[in-house]
Amino acid sequence: MQAIHITDIEAAINWWRERSPSPDGVTACEQVLALAEVYALLVYHRETECAEADIPDAAMDAWLIWYDSTPDAPCIAICSTSQGDALCKGCGRTFEEVQHWPVMTPIEKRVTWRRICLEATAWRFNRYAERAR
């Protein structure tokens, strides 16, 4: 089951709030409202992920537009999977993730991004952080 993490919903809400600020401090744009409904339900049910099938179309559209504003691949052009490592020392992805990246869905990619960011052991987070920027 593919699911979007609550932190991605929150990031998308904040991204939309920057792009379409409230004119009166109360009203929100339609994208923020759509994403906020999903966020509120996650909080209410004390869940951290929302299954792709449970996300309303308007919220998914808003999330996908935010997703398009994020970096696609975590690659920093130092790939150790090409030398046989199961986990890339440069970006932190598995050999399978590196190989299948072009055909992975946005949600699958975000799940991978979340894992490598939480682990923070890849060189993109320490030795070569400037390349990641």
DSSP 30-82: HHHHHHHHHHHHHHHTT-SEEEGGGS-HHHHHHHHHHHHTS-S----S--SGG
What percent of the chain has pLDDT above 90? Answer: 72
Angle between helices 6-19 and 57-68 (to 10 degrees): 80
At 131 the pLDDT is 57
pTM of the model: 0.85
DSSP bridge partners of 4: 50
pLDDT at 111 over 90: yes
At 125 the pLDDT is 84
Closest listed residue to residue 89, CA positions, set 124, 115, 131: 124
Q: Are 63 and 35 in contact (CB under 8 A)?
A: yes
Q: What are the angstrom distances between the C-alpha of 1 and each of 6, 8, 36, 92, 107?
A: 16, 17, 22, 22, 10
Of 31 and 121, more confident: 31
At 15 the pLDDT is 97
At 17 the pLDDT is 96
Please list, in sequence order, all residues whose beta carbon lies within 8 angstroms of the beta carbon of residue 22, skipping any fewer than 6 positions away.
Answer: 28, 29
- Mean pLDDT over 116-121 rounds to 92
